Structure formats: C-alpha cells, structure tokens
Amino acid sequence: MKKRLLVLGSTGSVGRNVLDVVERHPEQFEVVGLSARANTGLLAEQCATHPRARFLAQDPDAHLRMIREAPDMALRAVEPGESGFVRLIEATAPDLLVNCVVGFVGLRPTLAALEAGIPVALANKEAVVTGGKILLEASRSSGAPIIPIDSEHVALSQCLAGAKVEDVRQVYLTASGGALRDRAIEEIAGATIGDVLAHPTWRMGDKITVDSATLLNKGFEVIEAHWLFGLPFEKIRVVIHPQSIIHCLVELKDNSILAQLGTPDMRLPILYALTYPSRIETTLPRSRITDFPGLTLREMDDERYPCFSLALRAARTGGNAPTVLNTANEAAVGAFLAGKIEFSRIYAVIERAMGAVAPASIGSFDDIVETDRQTREYIKAKFGF
Ligand code: MG
C-alpha cells in the first residue's frame, strides 16, 4: 500500500525536496494534495506530475490564475481562504500530512490534521513554537504522531530512541552559525540582504536563512526539542558546528555520547520522516565518511547572537511569549527582506514586542491567534510594517 501524502507548501525549498524524495520512490508514495501560496507556475507543473493530486493556491489571485489558465484544473482545486488548508485536508484524507509551510499560518492545518488522527511530518517549526502545548495534547488524544522533518530533530529522535529523559544529561543541537558567523561583530548591524542570505552550508528558503543568521532558528529548535521530546530546557544546549555534518549529540548519564551524521541535504531527514517508522533503500547520494571535512565543535558566542537569548527567555516564560517572539520575528524578517529595516533592527523589534504584549496563558488555538493579532497590531502601530 502506498502512503498517501498531502504536501503543504510544495513549491518552497523543503516542499520541492519532499517531492524529489517522493518521485524517487514512486512505489512507496502517492501525492494526493499540494499547496502553494502564489507560485502557480511551479504548482501547475507539480499538479501535472501528480495527476491525482488536489491542490490549493492560497493567494486568491493565484487561485483564479490556475483555474483560468487550465479550466480542467477547476475540478481539482480547493477554495482558498482562512479554512483552505483544512478543506484540503478534508478533501484528500491523507495518510500523512507533510507540512512545509513557512510561518505561523502552518499551525492551523497541523492542529486540524492531528485532531483528525492524521500523522504530521512537520517542517513548519513555527507551529510547534507557538502551539507546542495544544499540538501535543491533540497528538496524545488522537494518537497521531508529530514526526519532525527538521534535520536536528530527525537526528535527535534517532539518538534518543530507547533512552529515558532521566538518562539524558544533555542534548547538543548543532548550529552552523549562519551567514554572519565569521564577520566582525561591529559589522553585523549593517549586513545586507545578500550577506545574510549567503548561508555557508544549507540551501534553504529566505526566511529560515535570515533566522539562521540571527540564530533565532536555533532558538526555535530548542523550543521544538522541548515539546517533541519532553526535554527540560536546561538539558538542551547549542554548539557551533560550521560543517553541518553532525546534526545533534546526546550525552547520557553514563558519559556515553551519541551523534547522528550526514551531509547537509534536507532530503535525508525528509526520507526518514516520510518512511518513519520504517527505513528504505534510497537512490539519494551516499555520504562517504572519509570525504567529510574536519569536524569542529565550539561554544556559541552570545554577543554575536542576541536574538537567541530572546528565544530562550520566551521559552522559559512560556504561555504566549513564544508566540509573541515568533510573530514579531516574522514581521521583522519580512521588513528586513523588503529592505525596510537594517539587520540589527530584527532584535530590537522582537525585544520591544516581547516587552509590550501582555503575558497570557495558552489554552486553545484561539488564544494563540489572539496573541498573534495583538503582536501584529503593536508592531504595525510602533514600526509601521
Ligand atoms: Mg534545523
């Protein structure tokens, strides 16, 4: 039986890698649904490759374009809008939701799938950062697992397999350090968009590449590891590993240290997530361990990455703080990528928002949406974007 996949965010960097893996293993998978925001050219190509897939173009103009240019596509289209993702889940009833959407917008379909008992392979870390508590509750009550796609968490799930949390002394998430890791600290503030997007090891979408340069991405991953593996924050540390070959290390109480290694190719963690809990042979390029560069690990420099401390503060505060952190970051990164603010202002915007939005506990999806709304409103009023 083929695993029937619904791939949200299929035209983004992770989504394209998911389809690459799927197309290498046609005997394993069938794509029953695809979604994109506005890249209709690529979405139409993907629909042609996967002729039984329903699709969603989230942007209303993109939706109309898709239908107008190919009227036979109308039957396969799902109406966009606030409930578009949920409609696509209902229309396709997949065996696995593969969520590669960027940003907070990915929370709702993740929750809907888990509530319906559909396992979720999750690249959308913002969903766990903002909604970790309610996603875990939904997963527990329906029995549908959340399977990470993030390379560090795929690594962690393998190194932690069979270990009890009390046996774990420390887990180390590795960070490349992003595009600005070797730049003099006083020159970071004025880094251009081009500087920030030149990631040294991973090829990814723009938003996550900026998050790598601020190291907020790693802060999100600490929160993700906390929720997905039940690890207390004090057991999660970050170390700089410029080669991006070691994806995590787990130190156990008997001083054993386990690591997971692989070349920085997103298709490897994706393959693991798509086939979990099985493993299959693959045509993906194999790593030759004797070709690995010299592997180094070093302490992180807090002064270089002030946003990382904001993430830890939000993580420890809990409640709606991680949502404020995430929403403020989405707005600030958007403004940076649009050329409206300097790189160093990303920190300032998040820091101000975290001080301004009232703390609240999170009991439901609506509570998270409300915090997101308040944060956006504050930033609009204060910074104008
Ligand atoms: Mg990662």
- CA dist 381 and 385 (Å) reads 8
Q: How many domains does the chain have?
A: 2
Where in the sequence is the domain holding 217, given as residue range(s)? 153-317
239 C-alpha to center of ligand 1: Å? 13
Residues sharing a CB contact under 8 Å with residue 281, sequence separation 6 or more, in sequence order: none
Same-domain pairing of 199 and 64: no
218 C-alpha to center of ligand 1: Å? 7
Q: Is 235 a domain residue? A: yes
71 C-alpha to center of ligand 1: Å? 40
**Do 33 and 53 touch, CB atoms closer than 8 A?**
yes
221 C-alpha to center of ligand 1: Å? 7
The CATH number of residue 105's host domain is: 3.40.50.720
123 C-alpha to center of ligand 1: Å? 9
**Do 50 and 138 touch, CB atoms closer than 8 A?**
no
Same-domain pairing of 293 and 158: yes
339 C-alpha to center of ligand 1: Å? 26
Same-domain pairing of 131 and 221: no
Same-domain pairing of 194 and 312: yes
Q: Which of 6, 14, 32 is nearest to 271 (CA)?
A: 14
102 C-alpha to center of ligand 1: Å? 13
User: pLDDT tens digits for the chain (385 residues)?
Assistant: 999 999 999 999 999 999 999 999 999 999 999 999 999 999 999 999 999 999 999 999 999 999 998 878 899 999 999 999 999 999 999 999 999 999 999 999 999 999 999 999 999 999 999 999 999 999 999 999 999 999 999 999 999 998 999 999 999 999 999 999 999 999 998 899 999 999 888 888 999 999 999 999 999 999 999 999 999 999 999 999 999 999 999 999 999 999 999 999 999 999 999 999 999 999 999 999 999 999 999 999 989 999 999 999 999 999 999 999 999 999 999 999 999 999 999 999 999 999 999 999 999 999 999 999 999 999 999 999 9
**Do 8 and 106 touch, CB atoms closer than 8 A?**
yes
Same-domain pairing of 157 and 90: no
**Do 349 and 328 touch, CB atoms closer than 8 A?**
yes
251 C-alpha to center of ligand 1: Å? 19
248 C-alpha to center of ligand 1: Å? 10
230 C-alpha to center of ligand 1: Å? 18
173 C-alpha to center of ligand 1: Å? 9
Same-domain pairing of 311 and 283: yes
Q: Which of the listed residues 317, 335, 350 is the one where a domain comes to its end?
A: 317
Q: Which of 181, 323, 180, 148 is nearest to 248 (CA)?
A: 148
Pairing mode, if any, of strands 54-57 and 96-99?
A: unpaired
Q: Is 381 a domain residue? A: no
Same-domain pairing of 8 and 26: yes
79 C-alpha to center of ligand 1: Å? 32
107 C-alpha to center of ligand 1: Å? 18
Q: Is 100 a domain residue? A: yes
Q: Which of the listed residues 288, 317, 346 is the one where a domain comes to its end?
A: 317
Same-domain pairing of 36 and 163: no
353 C-alpha to center of ligand 1: Å? 25
**Do 153 and 123 touch, CB atoms closer than 8 A?**
no
Q: Which of the listed residues 317, 343, 365 is the one where a domain comes to its end?
A: 317
Q: Which two tokens stand for residue 42?
A: 């690529």
Q: Is 341 a domain residue? A: no
- CA dist 17 and 265 (Å) reads 9
Same-domain pairing of 158 and 250: yes
Q: What is the dihedral angle through the alpha carbons of 340, 341, 342, 346, rounded to the nearest 10 degrees?
A: -140
pLDDT (0 to 100) of residue 200: 87
22 C-alpha to center of ligand 1: Å? 21
- Is the bond into 277 cis (omega within 30 degrees of 0)? yes
